[in-house]
Chains A and B, each alone.
Chain A
Amino acid sequence: MAQPFDFFGGFKLTLKHIVRPRVTNSYPKVKRPKQPRQHGRHVLNRYEDGMEKCIGCELCAGVCPVNCIYVRGLDNPPDHPVSPGERYGYVYEINYLRCIHCDLCVEACPTQAITESKMFEFSFTNRADAIYTKAELVVDDQGFPQRLPWEDWRDGEAEMTGGWMRATSPAGDASFEGVVQWTADLGVGVRAPEAGQSQNRDDDATGSKQIRNVFARHLNPVDVPLDQRGLQGLMKNAREKLPRRQRGEK
C-alpha cells in the first residue's frame, strides 16, 4: 500500500547518505591494512646466521602451475657454504608476468625458504624488470624484503613476510583458538595467533579485522553487531579511532 509521502522516500534517502561515512579512501595516499595471509611477491628467506634457506631442490619450480619459477641448484662450496645443506639455489628467478600468486611454491618448500610478502603494488615498466632474480628476491640481513624502485612500500608493510602457514591451517577451529600457527619470522619474530571466531582477537597484532565490524555503518540495523549499536557503539568506535587520529592517519 503506497503511503502518501512515499514519493519523498528517495529524497530522504539521498539526504541521509550525505552524512554516512564513505567506504572509499583516497588510495595512493591512504592504504587499507593488508590481510595477514595476503599473497604478494615472494621473498627468499635466510637463517639467523645469514645462511640462505634455499637448498636448490626445485620443488617450487616443479609445483608451479604456470612455470614462472626457474631454479638451478649447485653444490655448496666447502670453504664458504651459502646454505646449511648440501646444495644451494644457484639461480632463482620468478617471472611476475606469469605468477598467479597461488602460494603452491610456499606450500611445497621443505625449508620454508620461499614465502610471500604482502607486496602486490609493484608496476614494472619493462619485461626485464618483471623477472625477479635471486639478488632481488633474497631478504636483507634483518630479514626484511628488498625495496625495489618500482614497488610501493609503506611503513609496516615489510613486516611479517617470512612467516609461513599451511594453507589448510585450522584457523577458526575452536581447538586451535589462540594457538600460533605461523612459523617464526626472521625480521619480526613470532606473529600473534590468527583471529578465530571468538571475540578474543588481537586485531592490531594480526592486522585483520572482521569485515562486519568494518562495514557496520553500512549494514541493515538487524545485522549490525550488538556492541556497535547505538550510543555504546558510537563511543566504542570513537575510542578505537582516537589512537589512529593521533598518529595523523585518516
Chain B
Amino acid sequence: MNQLLASSDPLFAHGVNGVVLLIVLVKVLVGFGALMGSVVIMIWFERKAISDMQSRIGPQRWGPFGLLQTLADGLKLIGKEDLVPAEADRFVFKLAPYLVLIPALITFALIPIGGTLHIAGHAVMLQVANPPMGILLMLAMSGVSVYGVMLAGWSSGSKYPLLSSVRASAQMISYEAALGMTIVTIILATGSLSTHNIVTAQGGGIWHWNIIRLGVIPFVVFLIAITAELNRPPFDVVEAESELVGGFHTEYSSFRFAVFFLAEFMNTITMSAIIVTLFLGGPAGWIPNVAHLKWVFPIIWFVLKTTGFAFAYVWFRAALPRFRYDQLMDLGWKRLIPLSLGWMLVVAGFLIAPAWGFLMAAAVFMAWTLLTRAFTLGQSREVGSEAVLPVVGERPIPGRTIRKFTDGES
C-alpha cells in the first residue's frame, strides 16, 4: 500500500505520519480556497469581459470595479425562498446540485499548478492529489457530473428541465467520445495516465508541449469537445434560454441554484486548467534566476495560461451564436469523432515506426474519403411517408371535447 502511494506522490515516501497528514490537509484547504476564490473572480471576469465586448459597462457597484458583485449575488440567492416543486422527486431534487458540484471539486484536485517544493524534508507536489490513473478520474468525474444535470432535470417534474436533461446527456455522451480519443492520443505519447507525468513529459521547452508535438488537431478537437462538455456557448443547448426557459435548473432557486452556477464556473476554470495541463505543459515556462522565489514562477505561468483559456471561453460566448441541436450532433459524430480517431491512429503509427505512420495515414485518408461520400449520400437521401412514425397515445384532451368548448356545440 505504502509503495503504491509513494510511487505516485513522493510525499508518502517515508510512510504516513502526522506531519504528512498535516501537509495533505493544508494542500486540500489551500486548493479548495484557491478554487473558490478563482470562481468568484471568474464570474466577475466573465461578466466584465462580455460586457466590454458588447459595449456595456458591466458590474461596477459592489467593491472596486464591481469585484464583490459575485458575493452580493450569492448572498441575495441564499436569502431567497427555497422552493421544491410539488411534482418533484424530493430526495433526488436535493441531491442533484451536489452531484454536479463534487465532481467539479475533485477534478481540480488532479491538476498540477506548480513544481515540487521541499518543506522540512518532505517533497511536496503543488497538486492536491496525483493518483496513478489521474486523467481517467477526470473523465469519470465529467461522466458523473452528467448524472447531476440529468437527475436535476428529471426530478424537477417539469417538462423543460426534462428536455434539457435529455439534451445534456446526449450531448455529453457524444462529445465525450471525441474527448476520450484525444486523451488517448496524449496518453500514447506520454506513456502515463497521471497528470504529473503528463506535465513532466512536456518539460523541455515549447517544442515538447503536446499542442505542437501531437500536431494542432488534437488540441482543436479537445478545445471544441471540452466546450461542449461544459455546456458553454456555442454549445449551450442545455441552457438555451430561448427554447427551454432556463434549462435543467429552471425549477431550482436559492442556494441550490447558486450551487449549479458555482459548479458551472468551477468547471470552466478546471477545464481551462485541464487544457493547459494536457497541451500547454501545465506550469512549464521560462523561470528567471531569482533566489528563493523560483517556485513562484511556474504558478504564475500556470495562472496566465489558464486565464488565457478562460478568456477564450468568454470570447466564444460573445462571438458565436448557439448551435442548432442537429448541427451540434453533426459536429460531434460526423466531424470530431472520426477526426480524433483518425489522428490517434496516425500518431500511434508514427510512435511505432515512420512506415507504420504513413500506412496509417493512407488508411485514414481512405476512410475519410469513404465517410465523406457516405455523408453526402446520407444528406441527399429522400424520406418517404412511411418514415414518419404513427402517433402514439392520445392528446391530453380529446379533439371532440376541445371542439365542444370552443365551438359551443356537441
Chain A residues proximal to chain B, CB less than 8 Å: 10-11, 13-15, 17-18, 20, 22-24, 26
Contacts and interface: CB of A to CB of B under 8 A. Distances in A.
A58 B319 CA distance: 61
Nearest to B317: A14
Contacts of A23: 55
A26 B61 CA distance: 10
B319 A13 contact: yes
Given A17-B52, A18-B52, A24 B319 contact: no
Interface in B275-329: 315, 318-320
- Nearest 10 CB-CB pairings of A with B: A10-B319, A14-B53, A14-B318, A18-B52, A11-B319, A14-B319, A17-B55, A17-B53, A24-B57, A20-B55
A242 B57 CA distance: 23
B80 interface: no
A87 B55 CA distance: 57
A26 B315 CA distance: 25
B216 to A, nearest CB: 16
B57 A17 contact: no
B320 A10 contact: yes
Contacts of A24: 56-57
Nearest to A21: B55
A14 B315 contact: yes
Q: Which DSSP category, helix, strand, loop or mixed, fits chain A's interface?
A: helix
Contacts of A11: 315, 319
Contacts of B56: 22, 24
Contacts of A17: 52-55
20 contacts: A10-B318, A10-B319, A11-B315, A13-B319, A14-B53, A14-B54, A14-B315, A14-B318, A15-B53, A17-B52, A17-B53, A17-B55, A18-B52, A18-B53, A20-B55, A22-B55, A22-B56, A22-B57, A23-B55, A26-B60
Interface string B45-64: 00001001111110010000
Nearest to A24: B57
Contacts, number: 29
Nearest to A16: B53
B388 to A, nearest CB: 34
A11 B315 CA distance: 7
Contacts of B55: 17, 20, 22-23
Interface of B: 49, 52-57, 60, 315, 318-320
B77 to A, nearest CB: 25
A24 B49 CA distance: 16
A142 to B, nearest CB: 37
A26 B51 CA distance: 14
A16 B220 CA distance: 24
Nearest to B60: A26
A26 B54 contact: no
B328 to A, nearest CB: 17
A10 B57 CA distance: 20
A20 to B, nearest CB: 6
A209 to B, nearest CB: 20
Contacts of B52: 17-18
A26 B319 contact: no
A89 B53 CA distance: 57
Contacts of A14: 53-54, 315, 318-319
Highest count of chain B CB atoms <10 Å: which of A13, A14, A24? A14
A11 B320 CA distance: 8
A23 B56 CA distance: 8
A18 B314 CA distance: 13
A112 B40 CA distance: 59
Contacts of A10: 318-320
Nearest to A18: B52
A24 B320 CA distance: 24
A60 B281 CA distance: 79
Nearest to B316: A11
Nearest to A10: B319
Contacts of A15: 53, 315
A133 B273 CA distance: 66
B65 to A, nearest CB: 12
A23 B54 CA distance: 11
A202 to B, nearest CB: 31
A14 B319 CA distance: 6
A28 to B, nearest CB: 10
Nearest to B56: A24
B131 to A, nearest CB: 38
A15 B50 CA distance: 10
Contacts of A18: 49, 52-53
Contacts of B54: 14, 17
Contacts of A20: 55
A10 B55 CA distance: 14
B322 to A, nearest CB: 13
A125 B266 CA distance: 44
Highest count of chain B CB atoms <10 Å: which of A13, A20, A22, A26? A22
A24 to B, nearest CB: 5
Highest count of chain A CB atoms <10 Å: which of B49, B56, B319? B319
Nearest to A12: B319
